Amino acid sequence: MEGLELVVIIGLTIMVGGVIARLLHIAPPLVLLALGAAVGFIPALENVALPPDVVLLLFLPALLYWESINTSLREIRNNIRVISLAAIGLVLVTALVVGVVAAAFGLPWPIALALGAILAPTDATAISSVAGGLPRRSLTTLRAESLINDGTALVLYGVAVTAAVAGSGISLGSLTLEFVLSYAVAIAVGLAVGFIVVWVRRFLHESPLENTLSVLTPFLAFLPAELLHVSGVVAVVVCGLVVSQGGPRWISARTRVQGFGFWEVATYILNGSLFVLIGLQFHLIVTGLDADAWQLVGWLSAAAIVLVIGIRIAWFNTTPYIIRLLDRRPTQRARRVTARRRFPLAWAGFRGAVSLAAALALPLETAAGEALPGRDVLIAVTFAVILFTLLVQGLTMPAVVRWARLPPDPTEAYENLLAERVGLEAVVEAIPQAAVEVGAPDEVRDGMLTEYRERIDRVRRSMDDEHETIVESEAEDDSTDYASRLRLAVLPAKRAAIIRLRDDRRIDDTVLRRIQARVDAEELRLTARSDQEEV
């Protein structure tokens, strides 16, 4: 099939799937996966294959970068222990146990361990699409875990595949060294690229150029990491977190609004395409297996599904109690939750495109020129685990969240109001000097001071009453050129005050982005008004 025809079919599938998902109130990835599997049986599409390099080199950097940009660094810091244990410890335990069981089914040990590494990581795009409705802390923990655990799994995968191809054993010492070096060098690469990108963006003042750099950024981080044979995933995630911290200071409102719109559409299409392409593989996998392999695939798939789900549930119900024994600080005790409220985290172990891409990337032959043993079996088992976790766990996730009775984040509403209040106070402080600079008359200055002080009083009353709704910016009187210019002149003070709150960890990155979006919209409105008046 021609490439253009395939693009059109995938695009139409994404649109139809999106409509069906909205009508049925089901997460879009689940519908797209099913539609992709059905479309794969169309004769013209039966040979469509998912190139592993496309996922690992094109889809993955862009999607992980956007996820990291929208992840809270403060919440990662606050939950770093839980995230690290899940993203590294849980992945290694899962890979090892699945590998041992797969070896018991007759697979060579390196191949069995490769299967464990393939099935160990959760999928970041699936987490974001399927695990909605969770409080901020839980969702951030899942997102950060899924962003990092790909790096852990792919390092282990690379070692296992190298040993399988060479026909050699796996040394624990070399594996540990490679793992540590991969993370350390990848973090260094991500930090370096992130700081360079933020520095360069200080000198770019044209939105098309700035957003071109934004599109290139994940690949600028991924490429050197891959050339150095370290984790490109970790490099992209670290780079995204750096840009998320420095970007708000230097990126203009117009560029930010334009860039957000682009990334929102692009990642929606990339994410949807991934799930459609995963579904398309169903036909190839079903028809490509030998009859003798079906029994092995069936039993091994069942065992792998039980293991990846069971190990995760056991992990989230054992490690918290070990932490409680070792850490009895009051701050730690305050963060404890019941087993019921931890269960959504344990149940959200969705596998996705990274696992399938790694399975499809398995070499066809060993160094001796023989067929790689068990390759088709590994691909089929991987698809079965992906299908089960996305459909069964994904469809039941809303019910699990309701059953867990997770309370809303107790601080998020307060932080929204705090950011609004501090931003307005910064505006009041900046108005006198800004009025002098723009030459605004005294009546315009005094009227604006009165208006903003009244808004501050309303926000304070909302905070005292524990009101859970943000006080939105109201329509102001911009009937004069001076009023528009004065309002525009004080916006940098409001933006800087909110960024300081984020830097002091008094508000979350999510709150910063929400308030900043309103400030950006106000700036663009006032700028357009000023441009019209000048014309």
Grade residue 482 by pLDDT with cuts at 50, 70 and 90: confident
Mean pLDDT of 229-234: 88
Tell me the per-residue pLDDT of 366-400, one tens digit each, with 9 for 90 and over: 888 888 888 889 988 998 998 899 888 888 888 88
**337 forms bridges with which residues in the sheet?**
none
The pLDDT score that the predictor gives to residue 129 is 67
**What is residue 472's three-state secondary structure?**
coil
Q: What is the reported pTM?
A: 0.85
Across the range 347-353, mean pLDDT stands at 86
Q: Which residue has the tokens 């593989």?
A: 281
pLDDT tens digit sequence for 76-99: 888 888 888 998 999 999 999 999
- Mean pLDDT score of the chain: 85
pLDDT at 91: 93
Residue 231 has pLDDT above 70, yes or no: yes
Q: Band the pLDDT of 107: cuts 50, 70, 90.
A: very high
Task: Write out the E strands in 99-154.
Answer: none
User: 385 near 305, Cβ under 8 Å?
Assistant: yes
CA distance 79 to 323: 13
List, for residues 58-74, the tens digit of each pLDDT value.
888 888 898 888 888 88
Cα four-point dihedral sign 8, 14, 18, 24: positive
Range picked from 103-107, 127-131, 266-270, 320-324 for highest mean pLDDT: 103-107
Q: Which residue has the higher pLDDT, 125 or 451?
A: 451
**Predicted local distance difference test score (pLDDT) of residue 104:** 94
d(CA 176, CA 179): 5
**What CA–CA distance (Å, rounded) separates 94 from 112?**
12
Looking at residues 24-28, what average pLDDT do you find?
Answer: 81
* Residues 477, 478, 484: CA angle, nearest 5 degrees: 140
C-alpha to C-alpha distance for 397 and 391, rounded to whole angstroms = 10
Q: What is the pLDDT of residue 477?
A: 53
Give me 524's structure tokens: 């663009």
- What sign does the dihedral 316-320-322-326 (CA atoms) show? positive
> Where on the phi/psi map is residue 206: left (φ > 0), alpha (ψ -120 to 50), or beta?
beta
- Inter-CA distances, 207 with 12, 132, 248, Å: 31, 32, 14
CB neighbourhood size of 284 (10 A): 18
Contact yes or no for 444/480 (Cβ under 8 A)? yes
Cα distance between residue 404 and residue 506, in whole Å: 28
Per-residue pLDDT, 72: 84
Question: Residue range 100-107: average pLDDT?
Answer: 94
pLDDT of amino acid 468: 46
First to last CA, the chain: 53
For the residues 336-343, what does the mean pLDDT come to? 81
- What CA–CA distance (Å, rounded) separates 288 from 277? 17
pLDDT at 325 over 50: yes
Question: Taking residues 468-474, what's their average pLDDT?
Answer: 48
* Mean pLDDT calculated for residue range 315-328: 81
Calculate mean pLDDT across residues 275-296.
79
pLDDT recorded at residue 304: 96
Has residue 108 got a pLDDT over 50?
yes
Q: What pLDDT, on the 0 to 100 scale, is given for residue 467? A: 47
Following DSSP, what letter does each residue of 435-452 receive, concatenated? HHHHT--HHHHHHHHHHH
Q: What is the pLDDT of residue 535?
A: 47
Q: Which of 158-162, 257-261, 305-309 tops mean pLDDT? A: 305-309
User: Which pLDDT score, from 0 to 100, does residue 53 have?
Assistant: 72
**Which 3 state secondary structure label does DSSP give 387?**
helix
